[in-house]
C-alpha cells in the first residue's frame, strides 16, 4: 500500500531523522512539505527529494507559534491541494543539570517540542475535521521521555508531555477517523555522536558500513533510515485502526511501549495516615521500586573505544 496522492508535513525535516522521514514519505509517493529554520538546509532537503523523483516544497520557519502551524498547513493545501499526514519532528536541545539550567534553556525546549507539537497538531486536525479527512498524526517521542535521562529536565518533560497529549488526541480524534501515534526513535544523531559508548557504531555509519550486530540487535540502535519506515507506515492508510500507541524502533528492534499502569496495590481500612505509612510502606516497597533512566549492557571488548582527548 503506497502513499500515492497523499500529502504530508514533516517539521524539522531539513536534516537528520526528519530528513529521513521526509525522504521515505516521498519515496512512497507522498508530496512533502519540508520544514527547517535554515533556508539553505531546507532547500537542500527539497532538492534531494525532487532529484529522486519526488515532490516537495520548503517552509522556512521556527516551529512553536500558531502562525508557523498555519503556514505549514496552508502551504500543503496551496501547493498540493490537500493534507493527509503530519509528522511533528522539530526539536532542539539545551542539556544541563537542573542547577545549571536557565529559564531560557527550559522554555526554549518546551516551546519547540511541546508547544510546537500542540500548535501543529491543532492546525492539522482542524483541516482534517473540516474536510472530513481520516488523517494521520505521528508525533516523535524519546526514550528520555519514557525513562528520564541525566541533564535533560526540559527534554524529558517535553517528550513525556508529547506522549500524554498524543494519547489524549487519540481519544478526541477517533470519531473523525484520525489516527494519532508516537514513534520513539533509537538512532544515531548529533547527540549520540558525542557519546563514547556509541563510537564504534558511529564509525561504521560514517564509513558506509553496517553497524555491528551488538548495536542493531542487543541495543536496538541504528540509523535514521531504520526509523523512517515506521513513520511512513503510521502515516499511511495501512495504519487504519492503530491509534494512541507508542512504538519504538531502532536497528533491528521494534517495541510497543506500555501505557503507565499500577504495578502494585495494597488496601488499608481507614486509609493511609502518615503513621501507617511509616510503619508499613518501606516493607511494601521493598523489591518493588521502579528503575529510572536507561541502562546499557557492557560493550564487547572489540567495540570499546578510548575517549577522545583534548
131/220 Cα distance (integer angstroms) = 39
List the catalytic residue out of 6, 21, 125, 142. Answer: 142
Please state, as a whole number, how many other Cβ atoms lie within 10 Å of the Cβ of residue 191. Answer: 15
Nearest 5°: the CA angle 295, 299, 301 is 165
> Active-site residue 129, yes or no?
no
Task: Name the residue among 118, 46, 18, 87 with its Cα closest to residue 239.
Answer: 87
Instruction: Tell me how far apart the alpha carbons of residues 82 and 104 are, in angstroms, rounded to a whole number.
Output: 37
- For the question of residue 258 being annotated catalytic, the response is no
Question: CB-based contacts of 23: which residues, under 8 Å, 6+ apart?
Answer: 48, 49, 52, 54, 228
Backbone torsions φ then ψ of 222, nearest 5 degrees:
-145, -145
Q: Strands 179-185 and 246-250, how do they pair?
A: parallel
* Long-range CB contacts (within 8 A, 24+) of 155-160: 155/93, 155/94, 155/95, 155/109, 155/113, 157/110, 157/114, 158/91, 158/109, 158/110, 158/113, 158/114, 159/113
CA distance 272 to 42: 57
d(CA 92, CA 88): 13
Q: Determine which one of 159, 166, 235, 236 is catalytic.
A: 159
142 is catalytic: yes
Q: Which is the catalytic residue, given 13, 127, 155, 166?
A: 155
Catalytic residues: 142, 155, 159
Amino acid at each position: 500500500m503506497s502513499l500515492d496522492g497523499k500529502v504530508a508535513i514533516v517539521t524539522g525535516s531539513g536534516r537528520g531523522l526528519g530528513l529521513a522521514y521526509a525522504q521515505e514519505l516521498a519515496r512512497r509517493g507522498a508530496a512533502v512539505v519540508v520544514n527547517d529554520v535554515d533556508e539553505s538546509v531546507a532547500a537542500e532537503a527539497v532538492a534531494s527529494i525532487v532529484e529522486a523523483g519526488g515532490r516537495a516544497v520548503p517552509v522556512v520557519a521556527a516551529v512553536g507559534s500558531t502562525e508557523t502551524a498555519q503556514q505549514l498547513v496552508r502551504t500543503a493545501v496551496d501547493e498540493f491541494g490537500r493534507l493527509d499526514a503530519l509528522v511533528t519532528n522539530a526539536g532542539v536541545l539545551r542539556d544541563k543539570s537542573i542547577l545549571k539550567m536557565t529559564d531560557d534553556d527550559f522554555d526554549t525546549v518546551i516551546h519547540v517540542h511541546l508547544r510546537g507539537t500542540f500548535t501543529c497538531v491543532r492546525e492539522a486536525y482542524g483541516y482534517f475535521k473540516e474536510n472530513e479527512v481520516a488523517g494521520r498524526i505521528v508525533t516523535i517521542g524519546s526514550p528520555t521521555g519514557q525513562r528520564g535521562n541525566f541533564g535533560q529536565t526540559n527534554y524529558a518533560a517535553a517528550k513525556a508531555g508529547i506522549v500524554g497529549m498524543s494519547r489524549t488526541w487519540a481519544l478526541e480524534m477517533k470519531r473523525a477517523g484520525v489516527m494519532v501515534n508516537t514513534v520513539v526513535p533509537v538512532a544515531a544523531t548529533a547527540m549520540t555522536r558525542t557519546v563514547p559508548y556509541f563510537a564504534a557504531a558511529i564509525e561504521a555509519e560514517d564509513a558506509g558500513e553496517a553497524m555491528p550486530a551488538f548495536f542493531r540487535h542487543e541495543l536496538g540502535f541504528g540509523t535514521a533510515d531504520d526509523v523512517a519506515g515506521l513513520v511512513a507506515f503510521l502515516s499511511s492508510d495501512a495504519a487504519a485502526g492503530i491509534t494512541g500507541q507508542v512504538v519504538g524502533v531502532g536497528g533491528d528492534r521494534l517495541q510497543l511501549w506500555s501505557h503507565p499502569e499500577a504495578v502494585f496495590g495494597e488496601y488499608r481500612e481507614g486509609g493511609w495516615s502518615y503513621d501507617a505509612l511509616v510503619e508499613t510502606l518501606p516493607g511494601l516497597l521493598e523489591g518493588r521500586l521502579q528503575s529510572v533512566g536507561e541502562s546499557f549492557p557492557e560493550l564487547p571488548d572489540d567495540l570499546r573505544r578510548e575517549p577522545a582527548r583534548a
